[in-house]
A and B are shown apart, each in its own frame.
Chain A
Amino acid sequence: MKRLWLIAAITLVSCSRLPKPAEMQQFESERKARDGEELKLELPELVGHADAEYAKAVEAHDDKEKELLEHHAHLAALWWQSAQLRRDTREATESEKAVAKETAQLESELTEAKKRQKLAKATLDRMAQIIALEGKVTDSQEVNVARGAINEALAALKEAQAVDADTHAAANFAAAEAKLKAATDALGRGKTKDAQSFAIEAKAAAESAKREAEPKFTSTEADQAKMARAKALFDAVGQISGVSRSMVEGGVQVTVVEAFSASGGVDIQPMMEATFNKLAETAKTFSDYALVVEAHTDSKGNKSKNLQLSESRAKSVAAFLAAQGVAPDRMTALGKGSGEPVADNKTKDGRAKNRRIEILFVLSSK
């Protein structure tokens, strides 16, 4: 009988399962959720580590190895937490980009609002001079004619200032303001003819200032927009590893060195494909830019062969970008051979720097 009890007790003990550690339970519930699957797609390496440790924990659980179970469950939780934090980081970076975009928009709206404020204030100041005359001058036909001329000059000044004539045509604009003041002063002294004459001169000077300022104002606005766009492209390229970048006249230049698999090869080496994929993404985002793809070689070997090789490499890069969805008609592929070195061809490092692809993003005129 005693023996039976003993067997029963041993069977019970061997059948009872180890409790799963809290970390393991939490991992299980989070990993099974849809979010967990998405995280696996997003960060396969980290989640892969977590899964592998979890599998070992399950094995230890089945084998009732408590210490091992706790160890692997803890490791699974650590890798899982890393993956979650990495995802949070990506989200924060994305949000930061969106906030930066909003901020740029706000900055442009603020510039506009400040301009409105400045214009309204200046116009009000000029109006105040005229209003101050009310009550000092008695209405008459001549006075009304002078007033009318002053109002026209005032409107012309307002229009001139709206195109930043006070900055782009400072002399003419200052003359217009001085004449307007002279006109109001003259009206205040009852010299209506002088007032009218000064007002006409003020209007003419304001219109002249406007004419002078307009082209500069338009080109400044366009230049600012171009600059802002180029800066956004420059920042976007800065997020891509394996490239160097510089702002150049007309756009942004991106340089990739040692992009090809073998000496004399024209295929992009596998480890550089991610870089070119990201460049293609950027090119698609900045679809208003044309791309000039230039390939350069070092000076080793025959010049004409180097030229041919560089042409093939430029075409290979363009074809790669096209395969990623960049419209081929936006791209021009040029082989430059060894004729435009950026470093000393006598040294190994220098030659490596010279073997490069330069992609020039130029704002398209299309």
Chain B
Amino acid sequence: MVPTRSRNFPLAAAALVAMIVLGPGRAVGEDGGADARLQKLSVELKQHDVADTSHAATAELGKAEALKDKARPLVGERREREVLDRTLDELEATLSLIEAKIVQAAAKAKLDAAKAKREELRAELAKVRSEADALEKQQAELEKKLGGGK
């Protein structure tokens, strides 16, 4: 049996009344959670922005800013709830990537500096060793000469 307009009417009317009474798209508990999540992720984004002194994640920071801006007006829009959740999920994953990039860049810079110091020392050691070898060789020759005079 095909449902008729008249059969659906009480349900639609109840929904309409609820919308008028409660206001459009405000589900306090749920949106409070999304709002708090957005706040938390925004703080995290700011921290990463400050921490990225080596510009390791510039592109991702831009994307995260755009996601944050996209999410902000969606908070409180019940109909956009799914889009908001997806946007926040993407923002969270992007922030994880940003943090990983910043930490990786710092570790790499530290490694590069350590390698540079090692190479510098290697070069100096080779130079000092070769000078010491030459001096010791000279010394051995002179020792022979002096010994011969005994």
Residue ranges of A at the interface with B (Cβ–Cβ < 8 Å) = 46, 49, 53, 71, 74-75, 78-79, 81-83, 85-86, 88-89, 92-93, 95-96, 99-100, 102-103, 106-107, 109-110, 113-114, 116-117, 120-121, 123-124, 127-128, 130-131, 134, 139, 144, 147-148, 151, 154
Smallest CB–CB gap between B9 and chain A, Å? Answer: 32
Can you spell out 10 A-B residue pairs with CB atoms less than 8 angstroms apart? A78-B96, A85-B97, A86-B104, A92-B108, A110-B124, A113-B125, A113-B128, A116-B129, A130-B146, A144-B149
The interface bits of chain B over 44-59 (1 if a CB of A lies within 8 angstroms of the residue's CB, else 0) are 0000000000000000
> Contact between B132 and A49 (Cβ–Cβ < 8 Å)?
no
> Contact between A82 and B96 (Cβ–Cβ < 8 Å)?
yes
In the complex with contacts A103-B114, A144-B149, A85-B101 CB distance below 8 A: yes
* Known A85-B100, A86-B104, A88-B108; further 11 A-B contacts with Cβ < 8 A: A82-B93, A86-B100, A88-B104, A89-B100, A93-B107, A106-B122, A106-B125, A114-B132, A144-B149, A147-B150, A151-B147
> Contact between A78 and B94 (Cβ–Cβ < 8 Å)?
yes
> Contact between A121 and B93 (Cβ–Cβ < 8 Å)?
no
The interface bits of chain B over 120-142 (1 if a CB of A lies within 8 angstroms of the residue's CB, else 0) are 01101100110110011011001
A102 to B111, CA, bound (A): 13
> Contact between A99 and B115 (Cβ–Cβ < 8 Å)?
yes
A260 to B145, CA, bound (A): 75
In the complex with contacts A147-B149, A148-B150, A89-B128 CB distance below 8 A: no
The DSSP consensus for interface residues of chain A is: helix
B79 CB within 8 Å of chain A: no
> Contact between B150 and A151 (Cβ–Cβ < 8 Å)?
yes
Smallest CB–CB gap between A195 and chain B, Å? Answer: 13
A71 to B88, CA, bound (A): 12
Residue ranges of B at the interface with A (Cβ–Cβ < 8 Å) = 86, 89-90, 93-94, 96-97, 99-101, 103-104, 107-108, 110-111, 114-115, 117-118, 121-122, 124-125, 128-129, 131-132, 135-136, 138-139, 142-143, 145-147, 149-150
Contacts of A106 in B (CB 8 A): 118, 121-122, 125
Contacts of A53 in B (CB 8 A): 93
Contacts of B115 in A (CB 8 A): 99
A130 to B149, CA, bound (A): 11
- Please count the residue pairs between chain A and chain B whose beta carbons lie under 8 angstroms apart in the complex: 119
Smallest CB–CB gap between B17 and chain A, Å? Answer: 33
Contacts of A102 in B (CB 8 A): 118
Q: Which residue of the partner chain A has the closest CB to B99?
A: A82
A282 to B121, CA, bound (A): 28
In the complex with contacts A96-B110, A116-B132, A86-B93 CB distance below 8 A: no
> Contact between A110 and B139 (Cβ–Cβ < 8 Å)?
no
* Nearest 10 pairs of A and B residues by beta carbon: A120-B135, A85-B100, A78-B93, A117-B132, A92-B107, A116-B132, A99-B114, A106-B121, A82-B100, A113-B128
Contacts of B121 in A (CB 8 A): 103, 106-107, 110
A83 to B93, CA, bound (A): 11
A107 to B90, CA, bound (A): 48
In the complex with contacts A117-B135, A124-B139, A103-B93 CB distance below 8 A: no
> Contact between B131 and A117 (Cβ–Cβ < 8 Å)?
yes
> Contact between A85 and B114 (Cβ–Cβ < 8 Å)?
no
A123 to B103, CA, bound (A): 52
In the complex with contacts A110-B121, A131-B146, A89-B132 CB distance below 8 A: no
> Contact between B139 and A79 (Cβ–Cβ < 8 Å)?
no
Smallest CB–CB gap between A102 and chain B, Å? Answer: 6
